[in-house]
């Protein structure tokens, strides 16, 4: 099978620096898709900026906030409303539906929410991370146990990932590039700039070519299905 790779930057809209970093990783690096936090402070700016890069796929990065910390029998109905509201806000900001669906801190993988996310994905015809032919790869991440491990997100390790871990079919490399400023509320900070430099490192494209890995976006999934058919 051919190797296809979607490189998706999470947290679009989290801050102006994250927005700039994601667009830079798309324009000058290998990032092909991103996921928008519609309730975040810089979401409107992100939507405006995305219009200058029409090849960038933009999906919805659902943020449930602290809803799972206050679970009750009525929570399912409330969460269904949260999903609907964030989808509606995405379409208002972007002027179109999202290309894909995922969630902040992977809350869609929680057994209490998965069914609701699957219902939403089916209703709107959206690929949901981890529940489509696209295999998510989340190990390109520079923090464990509260400590930073920049060696995990440097060019050498990304090259190793591309050479050893990307198999045939479609893989989504989940990443978090961006510039860090005082307006970013996140424990994952300095690591974002390291990721950005790695995604823009010119050696990475040479590794992709050597390994026969073809970049793809969520926008390109439909075209790929037509070709394969």
Domain 3-228 is of which CATH architecture? Alpha-Beta Barrel (3.20)
Q: Which of 12, 222, 10, 30 is nearest to 126 (CA)?
A: 222
Domain residues of the chain, as ranges? Answer: 3-228
Which pLDDT value is given to residue 227? 41
CA–CA distance, 5 with 215 (Å, rounded to integer): 5
**Segment 155-179, tens digit of pLDDT:** 999 999 999 999 999 999 999 999 9
Which burial class, exposed, middle or buried, applies to 15 when counting CB atoms under 10 A from its CB (0-12, 13-18, 19+)? Answer: buried
The pLDDT tens digits along the chain (229 residues) read: 899 999 999 999 999 999 999 999 999 999 999 999 999 999 999 999 999 999 999 999 999 988 888 778 778 888 999 999 999 999 999 999 999 999 999 999 999 999 999 999 999 999 999 999 999 999 999 998 889 999 999 999 999 999 999 999 999 999 999 999 888 988 899 999 999 999 999 999 999 999 999 999 999 887 665 445 3
**Segment 102-136, tens digit of pLDDT:** 999 999 999 999 999 999 999 999 999 999 999 99
Beta strands in the chain (DSSP E): 3-12, 33-36, 57-62, 101-103, 134-137, 143-144, 147-148, 169-175, 213-216
């Amino acid at each position: 099978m051919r190797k296809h790779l979607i490189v998706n930057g999470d947290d679009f809209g989290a801050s102006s620096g994250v927005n700039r970093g994601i667009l830079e990783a798309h324009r000058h690096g290998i990032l092909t898709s991103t996921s928008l936090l519609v309730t975040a402070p810089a979401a409107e700016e992100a939507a405006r900026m995305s219009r200058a890069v029409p090849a960038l796929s933009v999906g919805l990065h659902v943020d449930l906030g602290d809803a799972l910390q206050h679970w009750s029998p009525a929570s399912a109905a409330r969460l269904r409303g949260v999903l609907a509201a964030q989808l509606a806000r995405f379409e208002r900001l972007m002027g179109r539906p999202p290309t894909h669906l995922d969630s902040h801190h992977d809350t869609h993988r929680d057994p209490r929410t998965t069914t609701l996310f699957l219902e939403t994905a089916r209703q709107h015809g959206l690929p949901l991370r981890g529940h489509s032919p696209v295999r998510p790869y989340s190990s390109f991440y520079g923090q464990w146990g509260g400590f930073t491990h920049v060696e995990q997100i440097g060019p050498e390790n990304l090259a190793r990932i591309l050479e050893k871990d990307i198999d045939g079919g479609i893989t989504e490399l989940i990443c978090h590039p961006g510039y860090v400023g005082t307006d970013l509320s996140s424990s994952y900070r300095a690591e974002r700039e390291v990721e950005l430099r790695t995604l823009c490192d010119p050696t990475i494209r040479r590794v992709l070519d050597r390994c026969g890995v073809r970049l793809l976006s969520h926008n390109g999934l439909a075209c790929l299905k037509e070709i394969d058919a």
